[in-house]
């Protein structure tokens, strides 16, 4: 992507848990950018389902998307140190040079 432009990313994720030992009512997709110490809520979903979340704000940086418990009503940020992370993926937005 050109410098200053934004790109699209679609993340497919699933929240599974045992109904006998429920971890959280909602599983959520969280993101942190670069060296941030906090994760920001992107989307939440119910357990036992596949979820697809599209974001259109990926720029030239490194984004870590994490699946962890959360609530769609907030809080909308959590410290990474206290996030009960079950999965993660890394997205790197790069700049392309046009000549």
Q: Which CATH number do you get for residue 40?
A: 2.60.40
pLDDT score recorded for residue 82: 86
Check pLDDT > 60 for residue 98: no
Retrieve residue 65's tokens.
């998307």
In a domain, 34, yes or no: yes
Number of domains in the chain: 1
What does the pLDDT look like over 51-90, one tens digit per residue? 999 998 888 888 999 999 899 999 999 999 988 888 788 8
What does the pLDDT look like over 8-56, one tens digit per residue? 889 998 877 655 565 667 889 999 998 899 999 999 988 888 899 999 8
In a domain, 69, yes or no: yes
Range of the domain at 60: 7-92
pLDDT score recorded for residue 16: 76
pLDDT score recorded for residue 48: 80
In a domain, 2, yes or no: no
pLDDT score recorded for residue 1: 56
Look up the pTM and report it: 0.81
Retrieve residue 14's tokens.
């699933």
Q: Contact, 72 vs 28, CB < 8 A?
A: yes
**Which is nearest to 58 in space by CA: 90, 17, 85, 84?**
90
**Beta carbons within 8 Å of 53's beta carbon, 6+ residues apart:** 10, 11, 13, 29, 42, 43
In a domain, 60, yes or no: yes
């Amino acid at each position: 992507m050109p410098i200053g432009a934004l790109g699209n990313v679609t993340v497919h994720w699933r929240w599974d848990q045992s109904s006998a030992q429920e971890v959280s009512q909602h599983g959520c997709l969280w993101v942190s950018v670069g060296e941030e110490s906090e994760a920001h809520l992107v989307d939440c979903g119910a357990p036992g389902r596949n979820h697809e979340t599209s974001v259109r704000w990926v720029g030239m940086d490194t984004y870590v998307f994490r699946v962890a418990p959360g609530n769609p009503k907030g809080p909308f940020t959590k410290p990474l140190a206290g996030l009960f992370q079950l999965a993660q993926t890394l997205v790197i937005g790069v700049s392309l040079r046009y000549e």
